[in-house]
Amino acid sequence: MTKTVITTVTVSATLRDLTTLETVKDVLAVTGTVDDTFLSRTISQCSTAVEQGCNRVFALETLQDTVFLERDGYPHMVPGGLPALQLSRWPIVSVASVTEAGRSLTAGSDFIPDQANGRLIRLHIDGLPSRWRAAIVVVIYQAGYVLPGDTSGAARTLPCDVEDAVCRLVAARWAERRRDPYLKVEETAGIRNEYWIPAYDSALPPDVASLLDNYRVPVVS
């Protein structure tokens, strides 16, 4: 069975930064407020880079997924079916409503959420797992993490390794601010400094990319 998903954000996150100014200043051992503007801007830039590198939004938002489940085969004679309905965001925090072909489904009797993985499991009348049939399924739900600095929700907090990845990016930008990032050798008054210029294929350095491997959403063409 093939499927097409259209995702609409109905309540956007007000905060998208994946770490806080206080945390970054502690990591860099920075005191005072002279560099706060630069660091705050860099946190936002690096948070966006991590989101793009992972092909996902981490912040808690309310969404509507409209899923078109199509029968396999032509002319649509093969019933098909999906054992689980994968939503576009996870972890799931709450499910407000699910409709299948216009009929409302009830949590616990018609489906159960696999919250950590962002899936909905269809249930048969006997309570055992069933398959999602070809239909239009509309799911309204909340998914994502409560980000550092946000105390408004009771959802899962952002994993510490994701925050660590952002802090590492910010630290690299901080170091680059004090010298030309493409400068390899510098000699002043007989003192020679050599700098390592890393080369990597992606937009994220290897140490950061490895921290984010478990959170990256594959791009399916």
* Helix/strand number for the chain, H first, E second: 4, 10
- Predicted structure pTM score: 0.84
Over residues 5-18, the mean pLDDT reads 95
Domain boundaries defined on the chain: 2-58+147-213, 61-143
Under the banding of pLDDT at 50, 70 and 90, the label for residue 46 is very high
| pLDDT at residue 41, rounded to an integer | 97
Give tens-digit pLDDT for 172-190: 999 888 665 555 666 666 6
Query: 50: helix, coil or strand?
Result: helix
- State yes or no: pLDDT of 208 exceeds 60: yes
Higher pLDDT, 66 or 134: 66
Distance CA 56, CA 63 (A): 13
pLDDT more than 90, % of the chain: 66
Over residues 93-99, the mean pLDDT reads 97
CB 23, CB 42: distance < 8 Å = no
What's the alpha-carbon Rg for the chain, to the nearest Å?
23
| pLDDT at residue 183, rounded to an integer | 55
Under the banding of pLDDT at 50, 70 and 90, the label for residue 59 is very high
The answer for residues whose C-beta is within 8 angstroms of residue 30's C-beta and 6 or more apart is 24, 39
- State yes or no: pLDDT of 4 exceeds 80: yes
Mean of the per-residue pLDDT values for the chain? 87
Beta strands at 85-86 and 185-188: parallel, antiparallel or unpaired: unpaired
Under the banding of pLDDT at 50, 70 and 90, the label for residue 111 is very high
- State yes or no: pLDDT of 155 exceeds 80: no
Backbone angles phi, psi at 95, to 5 degrees: -115, 115
Distance CA 135, CA 99 (A): 10
Query: 100: helix, coil or strand?
Result: strand
Give tens-digit pLDDT for 24-45: 999 999 999 999 999 999 999 9
State the CB neighbour count (10 A cutoff) for residue 131.
16
Over residues 80-84, the mean pLDDT reads 78
Percent of residues in the chain assigned helix, strand, coil, to nearest 5: 25, 30, 45
